[in-house]
């Protein structure tokens, strides 16, 4: 546990030292702020209700695009520069490294999301807001981010090329983000159900609507776990070639 904390601290500090964190925060706040308040078609004033739904809608896509950029270097760069060997010959396990990298990126996303709390305060001052839906909305964003971070770390562990890791995360991610939903509509019967279950958006919107169902939580938990376990395996595979 202590090792995970040391590694997480180092990774998180790395984000802030490399400007990556500031770029993410500024661009995320800019984009989500613009579409929540100013865009016109679909913003808070257009809907004319005190709701965070426009923000959760835009954050869903912004994070989907940003997370691969944050995770792409995580392991790919360590493989490229050889520092992975340095880490793994310290009293640290593969699992601890993967978990620490996951936690560091998730913390950065959490910090970014925390900075959007003024939106919530402002809107709740304008009118009656459904506080429960806001809390579950943030929870949904965190869960969705966690799922894509673990996918991103897995992609990053497969290659020493950051661009490949970035694109791979987007390509696999787009299936969960939208394609599985489309596929479930195109098919019928059992396969339709399978695709519908795999579709991340349906689980996400269920949570952001304020409904916390164990089915959705299990979905996210298994995605996160699968991604991290696959990353660990991909690190361990150095012993197989």
Partner 1 sequence: MDISIENLTKTYGAQKALDNLSFQVKTGEILGFLGPNGAGKTTTMKAITCYLSPNAGDVKVGGVSVLENPNEVKKNIGYLPEHNPLYLEMGIVDYLKFIGELQGVDKAHLMERVNHMIQICGLSLEKHKKIGELSKGYRQRVGLAQALIHDPEVLVLDEPTTGLDPNQIIEIRELIKQIGKEKTVILSSHILAEVEATCDRVLIINRGKIVADGTAEELRSKAKGNEVLKVGIAGAERNAAFEALKALPDVELVDFAGEGKNLYEVHSAPERSSCQSIFDLCAKNGWFLTQLTPIEKNLEDIFRELTKDN
**117 binds partner 1, rule: CB under 8 A:** no
Binders of partner 1 among 9-28, rule CB under 8 A? 10, 14, 17-18
Nearer to partner 1, 86 or 135 (CB): 86
Rounded CA gap, 133 and 214, in Å?
17
91, 114, 189, 190: which one binds partner 1 (CB under 8 A): 91
**3 binds partner 1, rule: CB under 8 A:** yes
Which tokens in the block code for residue 69? 């950029």
Place of tokens 């269920």: 206
Minimum distance of partner 1 from residue 2's CB (angstroms): 8
25, 49, 93, 107: which one binds partner 1 (CB under 8 A): 93
Place of tokens 């965190």: 142
Helix (H, G, I), strand (E, B) or coil at 204: helix
Minimum distance of partner 1 from residue 13's CB (angstroms): 8
Q: Which of 210, 205, 183, 209 has the alpha carbon at shortest distance from 194?
A: 183
Q: Which of 122, 14, 29 has the alpha carbon at shortest distance from 71?
A: 14
30, 38, 47, 85: which one binds partner 1 (CB under 8 A): 85
Nearer to partner 1, 59 or 76 (CB): 76
Vertex 106 angle, CA 105 and 109, to 5°: 90
Query: Applying CB under 8 A, which residues contact partner 1?
Result: 3, 6-7, 10, 14, 17-18, 81-83, 85-93, 238-239, 241
């Amino acid at each position: 546990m202590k090792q995970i904390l040391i590694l997480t601290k180092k990774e998180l500090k790395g984000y802030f030292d490399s400007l990556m964190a500031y770029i993410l925060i500024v661009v995320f706040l800019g984009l989500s702020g613009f579409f929540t308040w100013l865009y016109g078609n679909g913003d808070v004033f257009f809907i004319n209700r005190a709701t965070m739904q426009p923000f959760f809608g835009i954050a869903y896509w912004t994070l989907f695009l940003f997370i691969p950029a944050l995770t792409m270097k995580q392991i790919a760069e360590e493989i490229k520069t050889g520092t992975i060997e340095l880490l793994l010959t310290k009293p640290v396990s593969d699992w601890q490294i993967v978990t620490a990298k996951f936690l560091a990126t998730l913390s950065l996303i959490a910090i970014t999301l925390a900075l959007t709390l003024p939106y919530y305060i402002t809107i709740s001052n304008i009118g009656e807001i459904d506080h429960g839906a806001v809390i579950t909305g943030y929870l949904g964003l965190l869960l969705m981010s966690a799922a894509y971070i673990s996918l991103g770390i897995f992609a990053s562990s497969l290659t020493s090329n950051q661009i490949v890791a970035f694109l791979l995360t987007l390509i696999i991610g787009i299936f969960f983000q939208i394609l599985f939903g489309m596929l479930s509509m195109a098919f019928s019967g059992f396969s339709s159900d399978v695709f519908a279950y795999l579709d991340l958006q349906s689980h996400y919107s269920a949570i952001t609507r304020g409904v916390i169902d164990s089915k959705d939580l299990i979905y996210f938990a298994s995605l996160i776990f699968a991604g991290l376990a696959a990353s660990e395996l991909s690190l361990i595979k150095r012993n197989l070639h």
